[in-house]
Structures are given as structure tokens and as C-alpha cells.
Structure 1
Amino acid sequence: MELSCNDLFLLSQCAISAACQAGHAIAKYSRSDLSVSTKDGGASLAAQVVTEVDHLSQAIILQTLLPTCEMFDLALLSEESPDDGERLNKDFFWSIDPLDGTLPFIEGVPGYSVSIALVSRAGEPIIGVVYDPLTQTVYHAIMGQGAWKDGQPLKPIELSKPAAQTLLFLTDKSFAQDPLYPATLIELDYLATELGYAGAALKLQGGAAMNACQVLTTKPACYFKFPKPQVGGGSIWDYAATACLFNEVGLPFSDALGRTLVLNPEGSTFMNHCGVLYCHDQDIADRMIRAYNNLSQIKKQFKVSS
């Protein structure tokens, strides 16, 4: 099934409406009201925690999006529901994270959002919507039509490299326990100075969608997650919406080795095997890929010595 420009506009408006309604419901909850449980998932706490707000948000989103599945013959993939595999059979599917960054939400810190994308069977991000309940900010993009922040065109920030400017790196809190963490700090600082910046700053914070959006609105910045053997490392719903935003803004995103991010893999939806990389420009992306290769050699030496 082909989707016309009018179809894409209608579907994007449905996704925006669903994300905003869910975000408003999320914003009404306080931490004292939360009942927190765990689910089968990744190795990190961030991949395992779930609250009733996750389920409430999903229910609100599905009220708006399920009718579009029937109207346009779309499949649906959502974090809090089993993967029925229809995303591999239908031409397009909704990819939904009803509460991206559940751990920051539980902790009462920024970083959580609602993330919705329409993805083709080939894994192309067609529509991307991210809603930040804290600031009530809406990011959205449509393939081939552009990207917007609160209805205003979203364009890359002009990047300069004054000697006093620090290159900001973002990744998850769990990275602090990675054996490569100390070596990464050294590598990132070397990378930044090599590119002409004063140095590097690494910020550990949850919420994949908001981390990627911060790269769009902060200069200069890079969000990364290195590959790891443990199950987790984010899923399709964590990256599909922001992949569309980056495509339309024209900023580089890929897996940790610079390859196209596969957004409709067969089998597991987890992407721990490939990692992700969102950068403010290609120079940063190229140098980060090199940095990961260097760190991979260090990791091999760890294994040999142990």
C-alpha cells in the first residue's frame, strides 16, 4: 500500500495528537502515586522497570492509532505489548514507546518522553513524533517534507569550534559500570581536542529520544550507545522517531560502526548488538566511529588478560 502526502499528513497529526494526550496524562502523575514493577527485558534496570503510567500512556495512544491501523492496513509495535510479527508482513507499522525514559520518570528528573514513529517494512522511518511532557515540546518529522519543533521548522544549529567550547557527549547512566568507561573518558577528550574543541564533557542520563533531541538543539553534541553482548541497548521504538527527525534535519545517525540503523529487524527488537550514534555533524560521527574501533581493541585486550 502506498501512502500519499495527504495520508502522511493525516497520520502525523494522529501521532501528534496521541503523543500529546499521553504526555498530558503522564504529567499529572507524581512519584508518590507510582506503583513500580519489573518486566522481562534487557540487562539494565532502565530496560526492566515499568509503571502503570507506561500502560496508561499506551492505552491512550492506541485509542487514537488503532483506527488508523484498520484504515491504512498498518501493523503495530509497542513496548508494553508482545511483538506479533505483523511489522514484517505489512507495508508500514507504528512503533510506539508510550514512556521512553521510564527510569528518569520514576526518579523525577528530565529525560522522559512519548515517542511514536511510522516505519516502513524496509525499516525506513516515515513519520517521527517525540513529545516532552515536562516542557510540552513537540518534535515531529515526515519523510521528504521536513522536521518541526512546536510547529516551527527545525534546522541544524550552525556549528563553530571556538577554543573555549566543549563537545558534549550523552549516554545512559548504566555506562558508568562499563569496563570501558575510564578509557572512553580519555578517548572522548582526545577526540574533542583533535576536532578543535576545548575538551569533552560526558553526561550520563536516561531517555533515548530526549538524548537524541538534545543533540538537535544543543551545539555541539553527540549521543552514543556502544554495542554490548547483554540483551537490551534500546529497541526499535527507542530510535525510530528520532531517526526520522535526524533524516529530515540532515544530521548523521547510524549504528556505532557507521552502518545504517536497521529499524525493522527480524527476530528480536533489541539493538544491543549494533549500538547507536547521533551526531551534530559528520566530522564528529566519523571520529566517534574511529574512537569505538580503538576502544574495541582495548576491550579485546581486557578479555585476553583476564
Structure 2
Amino acid sequence: MMSTHIDFHLALQAATEAAHYGAAVLMSYFNNREELMIEYKSHNDLVSQADKEAEKAILNKLTQLTPDYAIIAEESDKQTRPNAIATWYIDPLDGTTNFLHGIPHFAVSIGLVAHKGTILSPGISPLEEDTPIVSVVYDPNREELFSAFYLGGCQLNGQRIRCSRTETLEQSVLATGFPFRDFSFEDEYDPTFKAAIHRTRGVRRFGAAALDLAWVACGRYDGFWEFRLSPWDVAAGTLLVREAGGTVKDLYAQHAWPVTGNIIASNRFVFDEFLDMLKPSLNTPT
């Protein structure tokens, strides 16, 4: 019989083990990239056997340890067990372009989202909306494991972390991601970038959204925004920031978490100012 509540510790253990298994596959290929077979899904959208084999290792571990939960993964792009109480969102290699070019900035991202109506623990009211509840983002190059579970705080390698305490946008360093394969929203994004470079201490673009969010969670960045990501890019990072005391929202205020990949995240002190800076450039979503 399928469980009606979430075992947080089991889920976090499963995600942690799965992330290490996936990362081991990635690192085995990283120094032998010339041997990789690369497929072009679309313009600037690449996948290699490293992505696919890492995803397979992650799926095998999660299926073994948490068989009741659904899974949505980037490379398989299909959902198992659609009526499950929670769904894993998996990106086996966030930062594929970095990986393929030998840039040591990429991660495994695994997030568990509990669905509306789920009972997180006995005696607690069911969730009123879909909610990220377990997260692991693992950076194998730095051996940094970011993890969190709902109302349990956020950790980096077992030590509690929190968002920065920067109080103004003028003092903030932000992260972002440029349009790189879908340019349909370029006219909407460009004014936000122009505003940010004029109103902040600086803007960084490192090419791995899961790590951008993890770095907001540990205070390296004060905020992050991007358009049109995929749910597996942001599911884990959303919870990391929230559990580190920050705020994460859907840019268009349409969803409980940024499932459509339109995301703004920051510490709680600069969030309102940050959002006010972006709002004038936002179109009404279709």
C-alpha cells in the first residue's frame, strides 16, 4: 500500500545517495570528454551519454529507495506513477554546456515536490498547494552537497547555511541566466538585465541554475532571476533558498513554486526591491 505521508529522512537519504551515484558517472566522463557522444536536441540544447547514464544511475537508486513517488527527469522527460503523492524532479547534469567545454561548474539537482492534499506527517493538515519538500544539489567539483527538507533548514556539507543579510539592491550581487536556445522572450529579458547592471553591485552568469540557487542559499549571491527554465532546474534550488531564510516566487505569480521556470529568488531583505526592479519589464504571460 502506498504511504499517505512523507518520510523526510528516507527521501533525503535517497536523494543524497542518488546524487552521489549520478555525480560519480559524470566525473568519470569529465576528463575524457573527447570520447563523449553528443546529441543535439535543438539549437544550443545538448545531451551526451554522460547525462543519460547519470540519469539512469539516479533513477535506479530513487526507484529502489522510494518506489511510491513519481519521477520526472530531464532526459527521459516523462512522469512515472502520475497519481503519487509526490514527484521527484531530476536534472542529472545541470550545466551541460559547461561540462562539455571543460568548465568545472555543474551539478546534480534532485528535488521532491509534494502535491496538493499530501499529508506531510500524521496529525498535520494536508498541503493546500504543490510544495517542494526535499532537495539535494551536489557540486562534484567542489564536493559541496547542498541539502534541505521542509521546515528543516538548509545545509552545506552538514553545516547550517543561510541567505545573505544584504539590505539593499545597490549592495547586492545577483545571478542570472541569458536566453540561449529560446529567444522568444529576449525583448522581455533584456530590460531586466540592463536595469540590474545599473542598480546592483554586479551580475554573474555561470550557466547552472541549480548552483545559482544554492549560492543564494549560502549567501554567495544575494539574488537570482531567470526566465523559461524547466521544473527540474529549479525544484531543488527553490527549497534550498526558502529553507535558508530567503524568498522564491514565480515571476508572474501564477504558481506556488516556479514550475514553469520563471523565477526570482533572493534574501528576504532585498526581495521586494528586486521584484519591483523586474516588474516593469514583465509581459502578461500567455
Task: Give TM-score, length-normalised by structure 1.
Answer: 0.77
Given that residues 124 and 263 in structure 1 are in contact (C-alpha distance below 8 angstroms), is that contact kept between their aligned partners in structure 2? Answer: no
Structure 2 residue runs of 5 or longer lacking an equivalent are 117-129
Runs of 4+ in 1 over 4 A off after TM superposition: 258-261
CA distance in 1, matches of 2:282, 2:155: 37
Task: Supply the RMSD in Å over aligned alpha carbons.
Answer: 2.7
Aligned to 2:48: 51
Given the superposition, is the C-alpha separation of residues 22 and 85 from structure 1 closer, same or farther in structure 2, using an over 3 Å criterion?
closer
Aligned to 1:293: 279
CA distance in 2, matches of 1:218, 1:206: 18
2:95 to 101, 119, 127: 101
Structure 1 residue runs of 5 or longer lacking an equivalent are 193-199, 227-232, 265-270, 300-306
CA distance in 1, matches of 2:158, 2:17: 13
Structure richer in helix, relative to its length: 1
Given the superposition, is the C-alpha separation of residues 75 and 11 from structure 1 closer, same or farther in structure 2, using an over 3 Å criterion?
same
Aligned to 1:277: 264
Given that residues 119 and 263 in structure 1 are in contact (C-alpha distance below 8 angstroms), is that contact kept between their aligned partners in structure 2? Answer: no
Number of positions where the alignment pairs a residue of Structure 1 with one of Structure 2:
264
Given the superposition, is the C-alpha separation of residues 26 and 141 from structure 1 closer, same or farther in structure 2, using an over 3 Å criterion?
same
Whether 1:256 and 2:261 are equivalent positions in the alignment is no
Q: How does 1:1-16 map to 2 (within 5 A)?
A: 1-3=3-5, 7-16=7-16
Q: CA deviation at 1:168?
A: 1.6
Q: CA deviation at 1:190?
A: 4.6
For residues 244-293 of structure 1, the C-alpha deviation after alignment (integer angstroms, 9 at most, x for no partner) is 112211201111245654466xxxxxx25xx101112342x222322222
CA distance in 2, matches of 1:220, 1:207: 13
Given the superposition, is the C-alpha separation of residues 167 and 28 from structure 1 closer, same or farther in structure 2, using an over 3 Å criterion?
same
1:116 to 93, 102, 110: 110
Aligned identity (percent) is 25
Task: Give TM-score, length-normalised by structure 2.
Answer: 0.82
Given the superposition, is the C-alpha separation of residues 2 and 153 from structure 1 closer, same or farther in structure 2, using an over 3 Å criterion?
farther
Q: What secondary structure does 2:174 align onto? A: strand
CA distance in 2, matches of 1:125, 1:3: 14
Q: How does 1:79-94 map to 2 (within 5 A)?
A: 79-84=74-79, 86-87=81-82, 89-94=83-88
Q: CA deviation at 1:151?
A: 0.9
Given the superposition, is the C-alpha separation of residues 263 and 191 from structure 1 closer, same or farther in structure 2, using an over 3 Å criterion?
closer
